[in-house]
Structure 1
Amino acid sequence: MSKFYYGLITAVSILCFNLSVYAQQIMGYVHDADGKPVENATVRLEGSSNGTKTAPDGKFELPLPTAKAKLSIRAIGYLSIQEAIEKSSYQSGTIFTLAKDNRNLDEVVVSGTLKAVSKLESPIPVEVYSAKFFRANPAPTIFESLQNINGVRPQINCSICNTGDIHINGLEGPYTMVLIDGMPIVSGLSTVYGLNGIPQALIERVEIVKGPASTLYGSEAVGGLINVITKAPSNAPKFSLEAFGTTWQEYNLDLGGKFNIGSAQSLLGINYFNYSNPIDKNNDNFTDVTLQDRLSIFNKWNFARKDNKTFSVAGRYVYEDRWGGEMQWNKKYRGGEEVYAESIYTKRWEVMGIYDLPGSENFSLSVSANGHNQNSYYGNTPYMADQRIFFGQLTWNKTLKNHDLLTGLAYRYTYYKDNTPATDETSHTHLPGLFVQDEITFHPQHKLLLGARYDYNSIHGSIVSPRANYKWNSQDKSQVLRVGIGNGYRVANVFTEDHAALTGARDVVFEEDLKPETSWNANINYVKKFYSDNGSVFAIDASTFYTYFNNKIIPDYETDVKKIIYSNLDGHAVSKGISLNLDWAHHSGLKAMIGGTLMDVYSEENGERTWQMLTEKFMGTWTIGYNIKPIGLSIDYTGNAIGPMRLPVLTTKDEADPANNYIDPRPDKSKLFSIQNIQLTKHFKNGFEVFGGVKNLLNWTPTKGLPFLISRAHDPFEKIEDSKLPPFDPNYVYGPNQGIRGFLGVRYNLF
């Protein structure tokens, strides 16, 4: 009997022990914000070695050794969370929700390889900026919005008409290709004015590739490319409105909406911007900011097909009337010699479409066309130009085992005509091309991309552009290393790209027929993500770049202050540097993106090294935001810091007649400057938002501490005969000449 009771007691003890252990087990689920299970999330108890991974259904189980504990949950692509739990009150089966990390490595990008791939899988480093990023500092144009992106700087080129271009890693605007939905729409004449009419409300995201992309996109993509991706009608709100005004009396209105006709979905966007209040705070009798009246209309159609292939057509029309000049100017003085102004009328149309050919093979046809008409006067100098560009491209994508092949045929036709002495007759340029790339996957962690492009320019002949890129990622995909090398080329068109060739009183001189520029670029990119137990995600994105140019075209402002001399460099030029971006986000609503770039851009000729004009040695950017969820209030603090750059002064040294010497009182180097902004946004549950804040908090302008900004502003037509006076010149400018201003706006989205 004793053995029976002993056995019974032992069995009961074991059962009680097992029940005790089971009672100390916690079971729960991890889901994303859409309610979908998150697999392989790491779940552990702080202060202990107990941890586990979630199952495919998001389920996890852990022992609970104490009465109180803190549960930590993290997963790649999500913001980590921490939850305090108690054994006595914990309910088995609790669902824990992870918020998406908006800097997810798995975003879909198209700019690097001409096909949709996740950002993580792309061998080409592609930076992605969402529409939400740009809302932290609302602006009427994408040109102004890019000022808070590290390594990218909108450059103002004229203090009168405020034309500008976009520098990437210190290279001037003509080296940057701007695409809309992957199509080379913004080029030639529109490199100066074409970025001003892209409605912000229709932008889904902006993708940026730093470094040459000529292998896929051809000429102009030497410094990099900016691809503006517009919203698909299926993802856009039914109706959207954004309107704001500033204390300088600038007014901007964005309207958007979508509708269906049969199986087709359409997206319509209208942007109107007006600034009609001449201001002269630096007392030189010239407007500080260009007056503008601009209308832009965008329409996009997506057509449903039985085979689910793409058929999309879009169009845009932009009209702009802008002028800057002497405060007493009005239209009756246009083109005359009484009152100086730079008046530009721009009419621009664009159409673009993508059609995937039927059948089992992946053939896609992309077509675009645009026309740009410019009617302008720079004082009494007319510049009448007309440009039309047609572009067509057929691509084929094929996967064979571990090879992902992409090949294509491209053709670009450019018609150009203006009234400048350099354009004696209408220009017709034909540019057929062929490209091929092979993305080889050796291992889930190793990829190699090989590509080459051949173009035949009807003026300059054959051009070949090869490239190679390698990508490695860690097994958990928290680290990515990319190495690339490539060749680029660019055919220059001075009068459409360089505003200085038109404005002021300098004569334009060509010492020779300009040859295409060529370049070789090498770059290394490293990305690392860290996930902490306190619910934050920290990411490092570091790059180094080196570009070597032959035949570089550098305008010479210094040999003769009355001339701009253009020629190919008899030597070489270099752009090199390092760039670092730091991203931090916390589930509490606090986030920060801070970046900096150090660069050295110079030319070398006859053993003499020259620092490139209007190029900073370093720059920094930041975007810091905090979302106070309980009261629906967001705070955004954005800004940049731009280092010194060399400026085009007019100092002359006439050794034959020293009496004619002129010493420009303006410094030949700028000082460090910073543009900073702050914004508050109140979010309401019905999709309505009210936002307001202050731009240029420090009230910085390039006129600070200067005797004047515009040379010979008192005599713009040079009617005073005095050899000691410098020429009239408005090109001494390196930043926006607009001081502190408040803004207030509303935003509404109906889904």
Structure 2
Amino acid sequence: MNSTIPFINAANTERMRIARLLIASILLILCSNAIQSQNYALGIVYSEEEGVKSPLTGANIRWAGTNEGTISDINGRFELELNDDSDLLVISFTGYLTDSVRYTGDEISLELKSGVLLDAVDVISRKQSTSLFLLDPLNVQKMDSRELRKAACCNLSESFETNASIDASFTDAVSGTRQIRMLGLSGRYSQILKDNVPNVRGLSTIYGLGYIPGDWIEDIHISKGAGSVTSGFESMTGEINVALKDANMSERAHFNIYGNQGGRTEFNGLTKWRVSDAWSTIILGHAEVNRNRVDRNNDNFMDNPLKQDFILRNQWKFQAKENWEGQYSIDYLNQHQESGELDFRAESADLWGMHLDAERIEALAKTGYVLDDAWGSSFGSQFSYTHYDMNLDAGLQSFNGKQETIRANLLYATKLGCAKKGLTVGASYLMDNYSQSLDSLDLSREESVIGAYAEFTWNPNERLSTIIGVRGDEHNVFGSMFSPRLHLRYSLSEDLSLKGAAGRGFRTANPVTDNLGLLASNRVWNIQAPLLQESAWNYGLNLTYKFKLDYREASIAGDAYSTRFDKQTVIDYETPGMVQVYELQGSSFSNTAQVEFSWEMMRRTNIRLAYRYTDAQTDYLVGRREQPFNPRHRGFMNLAYETKKKSNDAQWKVDGTVQLIGKQRIPAWNIAQSTDLSESASPSFVQIHGQVTRIFKEGVEAYVGVENAGDYRQSDPIRSADDPFDDSFDASQIWAPVFGRMVYIGLRWSIL
């Protein structure tokens, strides 16, 4: 007999009425601050290194012969009021050659060249592949494609090996699937966007991280704390925006082939061409195959899954002289995966295994129009559709899921006639139709959300910058949601910046697909009705200082964040043999503090050091406990060296990363242990990763690397591996690597 899990109907029209009045009042106040329209020069300042264009944040722009100037923002853009005495703009940035350009009324795009020549001594300033931004009110860290090439980075879930802010680990010892953590909480509480549109969510919360190939990524922006209201209401611990390569990429075509000792082989191919003056297109392809059955720890289970994945993307870009711009894309994915006992086949009935079939289609249309007015106004629209089918058999359990999502977002942005102010207002619609079941348990539902938002940016002077956002949404099941967001930046000096953030986020839990690793066990699921919508407040502070150490660039950044849930769906596996899902009764929070130091210690040699402390606790049925498999202490070091480029751009690059993972609490796995008040914990351990890259000439490079060079492995990662159909079988209690040392090799080739 099927049982259906109901949801709380928390509709509250009074709260929504108040939210609408509050939004309307704020809009009236902001609009009343608009000053008289003024004409101003617009432009963007960037640098280019190894074919990668990077915006220069904080470049100085001024009218020649005057004291009137401004600085570029996080995207390298600037706006400067016209001056009657000069039409020549002078642009300068530390470590780059000063340049000038005459303003003729058109938007300026200027590349600054790196380095200056002083008495025949070549002083070069290299753009860091991981960047912090002093002037952005948001606490943003940017990883560009050069940073991603320091490791294998086969997909998004494997892109954070050289980043200290994001933790990556395996969900279980069978499926080989990776998950991430941010600010001490699961990645499902971070909003993951693809080209500024929410993407990895719903049924694809776990597997979706593997649906974005690393070679497709142009850069990744990591923003800690509640994100922008323009992206929706789902951001709690932060935003991860993945910008994909498009028809403007510097190469005409790019190819990458990769293989590792586990039998995994991947191929990526990208090619672009211009169809007309206004239209250009790019096709991106990805294929991944693994047919090797490997069991290095002799537990009769495959260490890595067998795979056959295929992903294809086609994007069209439209840019007209009449201020119109558009991006239109379609993505297709087909995924097959098998894992489990060494001789398991999909048709096997007497062997324990996991079999996954998934298919996904995405379509996206983004259109923008820049108005010819003195207020610096623009209009934009985003429309997306996603269809996702997944069927997963895990031992005796079977999960079947289908998701259809329609998203629309309309927004209007204006500078209010002043470069120091900006206002974005918009409306959105989201429809999620979930058809999902775990054995006989029906978890289907349909959600419909209508929302409106406003975000005001105010930069009264060079020291202070604020972003104030308010968002109101009406949910067909859960009623009214009000999401305020605040980001504040104050520059204590030219090189020292203090940032603060506060905000609230909401999300609807999908208990099974949010925790797919738990299906790698014979635990019995007990999902208590009714399910509710999760909500949490996030608060944070960041202090960043950039300085010279031994005449070379250095920075140190420290931050502290607290995330506190007022509503949460608790996933409780403290009782052996069970997964209990219920509404939070009490407190659930995560407090983190991190400090990170970066320094170009010698020419072409960079070092980054980081330490993070995490205190994440939840009130379970058995009482308050630390969240399992979440280390309190974590250390990080990355060392990168490259030789001097030759005339044909040939050089060597060497990169190494050391991660210290502290002790992690391990839940009880048998009844006797569960009644013992003493807590078991994993030992601390160290992981070492390294890669050597040989660039033969511009556009051709080979690389060889190793993951987990110390070959550290969790002993007996699968409980009752010799009797996988016993109630005690459990492969979900993972705190360390399973495979051990992994050597890989690859080749990248770009046609310029």
Q: Same fold (TM over 0.5)?
A: yes
Counterpart position of 2:657: 638
Rounded to whole Å, the distance in 2 between the matches of 1:637 and 1:257 is 31
Rounded to whole Å, the distance in 2 between the matches of 1:521 and 1:422 is 37
**1:354 partnered with 2:366:** yes
**1:151 partnered with 2:169:** no
Shift of 1:348: 1.1
Change (3 A) 1:156 1:487: same
**SS of the residue 1:389 aligns to:** strand
Rounded to whole Å, the distance in 2 between the matches of 1:602 and 1:438 is 35
Counterpart position of 1:444: 462
Shift of 1:464: 0.6
Q: Check conservation: 1:571, 1:606, Cα contact below 8 A.
A: no
Shift of 1:130: 0.7
Letter in 2 for 1:610: R
Letter in 2 for 1:672: S
Deviations 1:58-82 (A, max 9, x none): 99xxxxxxxxxxxx98999999989
Rounded to whole Å, the distance in 2 between the matches of 1:425 and 1:604 is 25
Shift of 1:519: 1.6
Counterpart position of 1:67: none
Q: Check conservation: 2:399, 2:439, Cα contact below 8 A.
A: no
Rounded to whole Å, the distance in 1 between the matches of 2:692 and 2:178 is 29
1:717 to 722, 725, 729: 725
Counterpart position of 1:294: 309
**SS of the residue 1:133 aligns to:** helix
Letter in 1 for 2:235: A
**SS of the residue 1:497 aligns to:** helix
2:450 to 416, 432, 435: 432
Counterpart position of 2:505: 488
Change (3 A) 1:247 1:604: closer
Change (3 A) 1:490 1:104: closer
Deviations 1:573-608 (A, max 9, x none): 121121112111267211122222111111247995
Q: Check conservation: 2:130, 2:143, Cα contact below 8 A.
A: no
Counterpart position of 1:168: 182
Shift of 1:424: 3.6
Counterpart position of 2:548: 531
Counterpart position of 2:478: 460
What does 1:318-333 align with in structure 2 at a 5 Å threshold?
318-333=333-348
Deviations 1:478-510 (A, max 9, x none): 222111111222221112211155442222112
Letter in 2 for 1:542: G
| Percent of aligned pairs sharing the same letter | 22
Q: Check conservation: 1:199, 1:270, Cα contact below 8 A.
A: no
**SS of the residue 2:671 aligns to:** coil
Rounded to whole Å, the distance in 2 between the matches of 1:604 and 1:739 is 34
Shift of 1:219: 4.3
Letter in 2 for 1:382: S
Q: Check conservation: 2:97, 2:115, Cα contact below 8 A.
A: no
1:259 to 262, 267, 273: 273
What does 1:648-727 align with in structure 2 at a 5 Å threshold?
648-653=667-672, 668-703=680-715, 708-718=716-726, 727=728
Counterpart position of 2:84: none
Counterpart position of 2:432: 414
Change (3 A) 1:563 1:240: same
1:364 to 369, 380, 385: 380
Shift of 1:511: 3.1
**1:614 partnered with 2:614:** no
Q: Check conservation: 1:185, 1:350, Cα contact below 8 A.
A: no
Greater mean deviation of Cα atoms: 218-227 or 320-329: 218-227
Structure with max Cα Rg? 1
1:596 to 585, 591, 611: 611
Change (3 A) 1:662 1:409: closer
- Please, what TM-score do these two structures have when normalized by structure 1? 0.80
Shift of 1:127: 1.1
Shift of 1:163: 2.9
Counterpart position of 1:541: 557
Change (3 A) 1:662 1:640: closer
Change (3 A) 1:281 1:214: same
What does 1:394-409 align with in structure 2 at a 5 Å threshold?
394-400=410-416, 401=418, 402-409=420-427
1:555 to 566, 571, 575: 571
Rounded to whole Å, the distance in 2 between the matches of 1:128 and 1:410 is 27
Deviations 1:417-473 (A, max 9, x none): 123368647421101111111112222211222111111121111111112221112
RMSD value over aligned CA atoms? 3.2
**SS of the residue 2:737 aligns to:** coil
Change (3 A) 1:667 1:376: same
Counterpart position of 1:376: 392
Which 5+ residue runs of structure 2 have no aligned equivalent?
A: 1-45, 50-55, 63-87, 99-110
Rounded to whole Å, the distance in 2 between the matches of 1:58 and 1:223 is 37
Shift of 1:543: 0.7
Deviations 1:30-69 (A, max 9, x none): x9889x9x9899xxxxxxxxxxxxx98799xxxxxxxxxx
Change (3 A) 1:508 1:245: same
Greater mean deviation of Cα atoms: 214-223 or 202-211: 214-223
Counterpart position of 2:30: none
Rounded to whole Å, the distance in 2 between the matches of 1:56 and 1:363 is 28
Q: Check conservation: 1:202, 1:230, Cα contact below 8 A.
A: yes
Rounded to whole Å, the distance in 2 between the matches of 1:620 and 1:434 is 41
Counterpart position of 1:512: 529
Counterpart position of 2:299: 284
Q: Check conservation: 1:147, 1:640, Cα contact below 8 A.
A: no
Q: Check conservation: 2:129, 2:147, Cα contact below 8 A.
A: no
Rounded to whole Å, the distance in 2 between the matches of 1:496 and 1:623 is 33
Counterpart position of 1:62: none
Change (3 A) 1:258 1:587: farther
Rounded to whole Å, the distance in 2 between the matches of 1:739 and 1:194 is 24
Deviations 1:667-723 (A, max 9, x none): 9311222221222111122421111132211001222xxxx22122222223xxxxx
Shift of 1:648: 2.9
Letter in 2 for 1:99: S
Rounded to whole Å, the distance in 2 between the matches of 1:145 and 1:522 is 26
Shift of 1:206: 0.5
Change (3 A) 1:81 1:588: farther
Rounded to whole Å, the distance in 1 between the matches of 2:519 and 2:60 is 61
Q: Check conservation: 1:544, 1:578, Cα contact below 8 A.
A: yes
**SS of the residue 2:624 aligns to:** strand
Q: Check conservation: 2:518, 2:732, Cα contact below 8 A.
A: no
Letter in 2 for 1:127: Q
**SS of the residue 1:332 aligns to:** coil
Q: Check conservation: 2:184, 2:592, Cα contact below 8 A.
A: no
Letter in 2 for 1:744: I
Which 5+ residue runs of structure 1 have no aligned equivalent?
A: 1-30, 42-54, 60-71, 86-93, 108-118, 654-660, 719-725
- Please, what TM-score do these two structures have when normalized by structure 2? 0.80
1:303 to 282, 305, 318: 318
Shift of 1:180: 0.6
**SS of the residue 1:412 aligns to:** strand
Number of matched residues? 649
**SS of the residue 1:498 aligns to:** helix
